[in-house]
A and B are shown apart, each in its own frame.
Chain A
Amino acid sequence: MKLLTHNMLTSHVKGVTKGYPLLIKATEVKVNEVDFNPQFVSRMIPKLEWSALVQAADELGHRQDLPVELVPEYEKNEEFLKKVHRVLLEVEVIEGCLRCPESGREFPISRGIPNMLLNDDEV
């Protein structure tokens, strides 16, 4: 699971209203090399919940110096875009779980795949 994906995921346990962002507990993290496409990254940024990304990167110990707030005019800032690229697309959670911040429910991640299926009593 990449952090770009994580940014879209939310807890959907019945009754939960504050299920985003999911807290990440990772036991295995991989960093891959992914071709850098600055326009691609730049276009992704407006679609992100930025603070959720920073928090997630932090939880994985991969935040490095990603700023708490978006830098202005990031579109032209290649250095900044590279940092975002790394965190969004290169860092991957292979094993671990996603924890609902409200209910505590844990969704396992195994072999890179989060299992968001709910049990019958959670729907």
Chain B
Amino acid sequence: MMEEAASQLERDHVHSVYDKIAPYFNDSRYKAWPKVQQFLLNLQPGSIVADIGCGNGKYLHINKEVFKMGCDVCRPLVDFAWSQGHEVQMCDGLHLPYRDGCFDALLSIAVIHHLSTKERRIRAIKEMARTLRVGGRIMIYVWAMEQKRRKFEKQDIFVPWNPNPQSPTDREPAKPRKRATAQSVSEAIDNADKHRKVRSTSSVADEEELTCTTPQQSTQRLWFFSRSLDSVFDFGSLSISRSSSRDLSTLSSPTGENERNKSSHWGRGRGLIKQVSSFFSPTSVIGSEEDVFDSVTNLHKGQNAPGGNNNSPENQSVSVSLAQECGSLALPDLVPFQKEHLKQSSDESEGGLQGKEQHESTKSSQGSERQVEGSCLRYYHVFREGELAELIENHVDELLVKHTYFDHANWCVVAEKVQICKI
């Protein structure tokens, strides 16, 4: 049951979001993390390395002496990586299509934080470990809860996607696939330059979303709390503090068209609520700490399922309180902030979300109060200090943690595959 819920959450708030935002992943905000680059450059010539969750393949051009392949669930991103001459496959991190011990090294950069339960995150790490040869190394990057300028108050969050305000004219038109691949020396050098200048990508933008410097960008700085799918359902712990809601007060309308920019994310959020709430029942038994969907007891107390008429205030509050529990939407106490801001922002004309036309338009009139690109909310489980290393130490015997460090907004681990002697 929880497995389905976890899967569905990831489908809605990871996979489908990346499908939508894939075209925007290639602008100049994105650079390869230097330490990841160094990890790749330090590999023995003749190594075979896989980037699990490679996205648009930003790391696949590094080090022409090693054979690289990548995989991802997002078709548009994988297509792009292919167009750059890389060997890529579609697959999902919980079921890797590679034989045991075939890789000398692996990358998992900003990937497993998109898995919505601890159990799935462990499975993903174990799957990668399976494909690593003994002595091989894996580098894992995940978003840190402790950021430079702020600390997330919760670990399970939704983060809206913020396109580059300058975008689409900056983007290069898609190039025809390079015939000779990055394996060839001269091409690799070309590619490397190209990548460094234009096409290099990374999760730096993610950090920028969180710790942006310009006032304009700060209007887009925002996240929503999500209920952890791992912990026992605790209504008391769901409130958002005022300090974080202050951020929401700078929320801007992506288009400045308050009237017409309906709460696409209400529609989406309601969809999530519907799906999630369908797993809840008043009679559920409280299970283990890991089984949140079994442990919710009173979510449905006196509430009708949302998803029907969006316009009535009663349904609004029903949905909102459900949303509060699911944490997928702005909380009602933030509405006043948003209203204030709407006045300000109605005069601004922003670059606008290029993907605006991709948003569902709903009929809800309260939508005008919800300006967030909700259909592009990405789910993250941000990691506490030490959490990733602990996860590996306690649950993945076949990996030995060699290094852990903090890199910009990420917790990072390098681990080595070890032989397990089963007696």
Contacts and interface: CB of A to CB of B under 8 A. Distances in A.
B232 interface: no
Given A8-B103, A12-B97, 11 more contacts: A1-B87, A4-B67, A11-B97, A37-B183, A39-B45, A40-B67, A47-B48, A111-B79, A114-B97, A116-B97, A123-B95
B322 to A, nearest CB: 26
Contacts of B96: 12
Given A113-B82, A117-B73, A10 B98 contact: yes
B87 A40 contact: no
Nearest to B127: A12
B89 A113 contact: yes
Interface in B46-74: 46, 48, 50, 65, 67, 69, 71, 73
B214 interface: no
Contacts of A68: none
A32 B79 CA distance: 19
A116 B91 contact: yes
Nearest to B47: A43
Contacts of A51: none
B234 interface: no
Contacts of A11: 97
A5 B177 CA distance: 18
Given A5-B87, A9-B98, A11-B97, A40 B46 contact: yes
Contact of A44 (B67, B89, B90): B67
Contacts of A117: 73, 90-92
Select the residue from A1, A4, A43 with max chain B CB neighbours within 10 A: A43
Contacts of B65: 40
Interface of B: 45-46, 48, 50, 65, 67, 69, 71, 73, 78-79, 82, 87-92, 94-99, 102-104, 177, 179-181, 183-187
Given A9-B97, A11-B97, A40-B46, A113 B79 contact: yes
B52 to A, nearest CB: 12
Interface of chain B, main secondary structure: mixed
Interface string A2-20: 1011001111100000001
A115 interface: yes
A121 interface: no
Interface residues of A, number: 33
Instruction: Please name the 10 residue pairs, one residue from A and one from B, whose CB atoms are nearest each other, closest first.
Output: A43-B46, A35-B184, A116-B97, A116-B91, A115-B90, A10-B99, A8-B102, A5-B87, A114-B89, A34-B184
A69 interface: no
Interface in A99-123: 107, 111-118, 123
Nearest to A112: B82
A106 to B, nearest CB: 13
B181 A34 contact: yes
A6 B164 CA distance: 37
Nearest to A10: B99
Given A44-B48, A47-B102, A113-B79, A32 B95 contact: no
A40 B97 contact: no
Nearest to A5: B87
A81 interface: no
A117 B46 CA distance: 28
A84 interface: no
Contacts of B82: 111-113
Interface string A41-78: 01110010100000000000000000000000000000
B87 A118 contact: no
A118 B95 contact: yes
A33 B246 CA distance: 58
Contact of B46 (A12, A35, A44, A114): A44
Given A33-B180, A34-B184, A35-B185, A9 B92 contact: no
A35 B97 contact: no
A89 interface: yes
A47 B98 CA distance: 13
A123 B48 CA distance: 27
Contacts of A43: 45-46
B180 A34 contact: yes
A79 B79 CA distance: 35
Contact of B187 (A1, A35, A40, A47): A35
A20 B186 CA distance: 34
A60 to B, nearest CB: 16
Contact of B90 (A8, A49, A113, A123): A113
Given A8-B48, A32-B181, A114 B90 contact: yes
Given A10-B98, A40-B45, A47-B102, A32 B89 contact: no
A75 to B, nearest CB: 11
A102 to B, nearest CB: 14
